[in-house]
Amino acid sequence: MTDVRIAPSILSANFAALGAEVKAVLDAGADWIHFDVMDNHYVPNLTVGPMVCKSLRDSGVKGFLDVHLMITPVDALAQSFIEAGADLISFHPTATENIEETIAMIKSSGTKVGLALNPDEDVSLIEPYISSLDLVLMMSVFPGFGGQKFIPEVLDNVKLVRSMIDASGNDIKLEIDGGINQDTIGQAYAAGADTFVAGSAIFNTSDYKETINQLRASLST
């Protein structure tokens, strides 16, 4: 695989200067911007809503906005993020009453759609829907907080999902989120991931361009 994406997560950015932070990582070579949306109900933390997404668009941010919804219910807020300018919305199968209807609702707007799996969830949860997806998001930490350590056991499921995607014949991205840094990104890539969410590994450094370049270089090691 040569088609890979680095997606800095704004959860680790300086929110007092979020617009500048997002523009800085895009200028530094980031491919996507990742939103971690939490409701303090489905997961134990509260983060950002669609107004933040809209504000970034209104400020001139043109980059690909990758929104991961860790909320329930899904549909109403997904629609709000679509209207705010999200390019892709992922949600958890257990967070909605009707997975097919939620997928169809998101796709009907022209927005890309993904399903997300936690480290302890079976890949069979997404298998019936794989042909409808643009992305599968594998969590390599339990969602809720940034800066957690990578769970290597998730790599077995990444391999299974990669096989599932390849068998489908469709252009489906395989994203991994949680504890991704220079030490773990190569393992995730070798298992089949092609899109890498990194928060603190990027935003906690002083030179975003150098860090992103180092992450890309680590894919071949």
Which residues carry out catalysis?
A: 36, 177
In whole angstroms, give the CA distance from residue 66 to residue 36: 9
- Looking at residue 46, its amino acid is L
Q: How many other C-beta atoms can be found within 10 angstroms of the C-beta atom of residue 209?
A: 14
Of 181, 206, 180, whose CA–CA distance to 21 is shortest?
Answer: 206
Is residue 46 classed as helix, strand or coil in its secondary structure? strand
139, 118 Cβ separation under 8 angstroms: yes
Backbone Cα Rg of the chain:
16
In whole angstroms, give the CA distance from residue 133 to residue 186: 25
Structure tokens at 46: 């509260």
In whole angstroms, give the CA distance from residue 203 to residue 33: 12
Q: How many other C-beta atoms can be found within 10 angstroms of the C-beta atom of residue 39?
A: 18
Axis crossing angle, helix 99-108 with helix 75-84, rounded to the nearest 10:
20
- The CA dihedral of 184, 46, 55, 196, to the nearest 10 degrees, is 10
- Looking at residue 47, its amino acid is T
